[in-house]
Amino acid sequence: MRKIALLTIIALTFWGCAGLSRSYKLGTEAALGKNWDEAVKYYQRAALESPENSVYRLALFRAKLAASTAHLIKARELAFQGRKEEALVEYEKALSYDPLNRIIAGEAKSLIEEEVKEEEPKKIRIEPPVKLEVDKEKIHLKFVDANLRSIFQALGKHARVNVLFDEQFRDITFSIDLVDMIFEQALNSLCLASKNFYRIIDERTIIIAPDLPQKRIQYELNAIKTFYLSNIRAEDIRVSLTQMLRTQYKAPNIIVDKNINTVTLRDTPAVIELAGNIIKIWDKPKGEVIIDLEIMEVSRVRLRQLGMELEQGLIGLRYTGPEGSGADEQGWFKLKGIDFSKSEHFQVALPGAVVQFLEADSDTKIISQPRLRGIDGEEIKYVVGDKIPIPRTTFTPIAAGGYAQQPLTSFQYEDVGIDVKITPTIHFENEVTLELDIKIKSLGGAGYADIPIIATREVKNIIRLKDGETNLLAGLLKDEERKTVSGIAGLKNIPILGSLFSSTDQVIQQTDVILTITPYIIRTVPLSEEDLKPLWVDLGGISPAVSARGGPPEEALAERRARQRAEVEDMARRREQNQVFLTPANFEVPQNREFRVSVNARIQEDISNMSLNISFDPGSVKLKEVVRREFLNRLGKDVPFLKNIDNSSGVCTIGFSSTEIGKGIKGTGSIATLVFQAVSKGESTIQVTSVTANKPTGQTLMFETGQSRVVVR
DSSP-derived secondary structure for 641-679: EEEEEETTTTEEEEEEE-SSTT--EEEEEEEEEEEEEE-
Say which CATH superfamily domain 18-114 falls into.
Tetratricopeptide repeat domain (1.25.40.10)
What angle is formed at CA 306 by the lines to CA 305 and CA 311, rounded to 5 degrees? 85
For residues 370-396, give the mean pLDDT: 83
Q: What are the C-alpha distances in Å from 44 to residues 27, 231, 297, 457? A: 9, 38, 29, 37
What is the CATH T-level fold of the domain 138-219, as seen in this structure?
Phage tail protein beta-alpha-beta fold (3.55.50)
Residues paired with 344 in a beta bridge: none
The fraction of the chain above a pLDDT of 90, given in percent, is 3
Residue 60 pLDDT exceeds 70: yes
Of 42-56, 399-413, 598-612, which one has max mean pLDDT? 598-612
Q: How confident is residue 351, by pLDDT bands cut at 50, 70 and 90?
A: low
Q: Kindly report which listed range (69-78, 121-130, 576-585) carries the lowest average pLDDT score.
A: 121-130
In sequence order, the β-bridge partners of residue 291 are: 372, 519
- pLDDT band for 399, please (50, 70, 90 cuts): low
Residue 488 pLDDT greater than 60, yes or no: yes
CB 351 within 8 A of CB 312: yes
Question: Are 295 and 367 within 8 A, CB to CB?
Answer: yes
Contact status, residue 175 vs residue 146, Cβ threshold 8 Å: yes
Sign of the Cα torsion 211, 212, 218, 220 reads positive
Using pLDDT thresholds of 50, 70 and 90, give the confidence band for residue 116. very low
pLDDT of residue 264: 93
More confident residue, 122 or 415: 415
Residue 304 has a pLDDT of: 57
Multiple choice CATH, 223-282, 3.30.1370.120, 3.40.50.720, 3.50.50.60, 3.40.50.300? 3.30.1370.120
Q: What percent of the chain has pLDDT over 70?
A: 73
Q: pLDDT digit string (tens) for 568-621? A: 555 555 445 788 888 888 888 888 888 888 998 888 888 888 888 888 888 888
Pairing of strands 700-701, 502-523: unpaired
Q: 304-322 b/e with 16+ CB inside 10 Å = b?
A: bbbbbbbeeeeeeeeeebe
Q: Decide: 2 and 24 in contact? Cβ < 8 Å.
A: no
Residue 7 above 50 pLDDT?
no
Could you give the CA distance from residue 25 to residue 142 in angstroms, rounded to a whole number?
92
Helix or strand (DSSP H, E) at 228: strand 223-228
Q: What is the mean pLDDT of residues 661-675?
A: 85
Q: 609-615 and 704-705: which strand pairing?
A: unpaired
Class of domain 575-712: mainly beta
Of 526, 55, 638, the closest CA to residue 284 belongs to: 526
**What are the start-end ranges of the E strands in 311-397?**
316-319, 346-349, 353-368, 371-375, 380-397
246-269 average pLDDT score? 85
Kindly write down the DSSP assignment for every residue of 556-579, as one continuous string: HHHHHHHHHHHHHHHHHHH----E
User: What is the model's pTM?
Assistant: 0.53
Q: How far apart are CA 406 and CA 408, in angstroms?
A: 7
Please state which of the ranges 39-53, 227-241, 642-656 shows the lowest mean pLDDT. 39-53
Least Cα distance to 608 among 695, 713, 528, 497 occurs for 695
Extents of the domains making up the chain: 18-114, 138-219, 223-282, 361-395+405-523, 575-712
User: Which is more confident, 93 or 503?
Assistant: 93
Mean pLDDT computed over every residue of the chain? 77
Tens-place pLDDT, residues 446-457: 777 677 777 777
- Element (H or E) spanning 39, and its range? helix 36-49
CA distances from 288 to 101, 103, 303, 532, 609 (A): 15, 13, 48, 21, 59
How far apart CA 114 and CA 640 sit, in angstroms, is 74
Judged by DSSP in three states, 417 sits in strand
List b or e across 653-664, with b for residues whose CB sees 16 or more CB atoms inside 10 angstroms: ebbbebeeeeeb
Q: Residue range 78-102: average pLDDT? A: 80
> Of all residues in the chain, what percent are helix, strand and coil, respectively (each to 5)?
25, 40, 30
Confidence band for 319, pLDDT divided at 50, 70 and 90: low
Per-residue pLDDT at 48 exceeds 60: yes
Q: Distance between CA atoms of 480 and 474, rounded to whole angstroms?
A: 18
The most confident of the ranges 87-91, 342-346, 398-402 is 87-91
